[in-house]
Structure 1
Amino acid sequence: MPNIGPAELLVVLLVALVVFGPRKLPELGKSLGNGLREFRKSTQSFRDDLTLTPPAHAPVPAPAAQSVAASVAPVNPADVTAPRS
C-alpha cells in the first residue's frame, strides 16, 4: 500500500472543501475527532476488561465465604443410631 504524501493529502483536503464547503468542514472535523475519541475510549475499556489482572483503580474482590456443607465433617453411617419409637 503506497504512503500518502503531502500532495495526496492536499488533493483530499481540496476535494473535501469543494464537496462540503468552508462552513461545514470545521464541524465535520470536530465530529470526526469526537467519534475517534469515543471509539478509542471504548476499545481501551474493552481491552482492560479482557486483561487477566485487574487495573489499579479497580477494587480487589473479597475471598468467597466457605459454604456450610464444606465446613461440616462427614458423618460415618455406622456411628448414627436409629431413632427410638
Structure 2
Amino acid sequence: MGGIGFPELIVILVIVLIIFGANKLPEIGQGMGRAIKNFKKATNEPEEIDVTPKKDNAENKDS
C-alpha cells in the first residue's frame, strides 16, 4: 500500500520518453541533478552571518 513500485516507474519512464523524446532525456537528467545539488548546498549553508560589532573590552575598563 502506498509508495512507487517498479511497474509504476516503468510506466512513468515510458510516458516521459513519449513526451520529451530520447534526445532530451540527458538534458533533463542533467538539469535535475544540478537542481538537487543546489538544493542540498543551500540547505547545508548557515542561514545568516552575524555582522553586529562586538563590545570592546577597552570600553568596559574605562567605565
Aligned to 2:56: 65
The answer for unaligned runs of 5 or more in structure 2 is 48-53
Count of aligned residue pairs for this structure pair: 57
Aligned to 2:2: 2
5 Å-filtered alignment, 1:34-73, equals 34-45=34-45, 49=46, 64-68=55-59, 70-72=60-62
The answer for unaligned runs of 5 or more in structure 1 is 51-62, 74-85
Between the aligned partners of 1:15 and 1:28, the Cα distance in structure 2 is: 14
1:36-61 Cα offsets, whole Å, 9 max, x none, are 1111111111xxx25xxxxxxxxxxx
Between the aligned partners of 1:72 and 1:12, the Cα distance in structure 2 is: 73
Max Rg structure: 1
TM-score (norm 1): 0.58
Q: What's the C-alpha RMSD, in Å, of the aligned pairs? A: 2.1
TM-score (norm 2): 0.76
Q: 1:64 offset after TM fit, Å?
A: 4.8
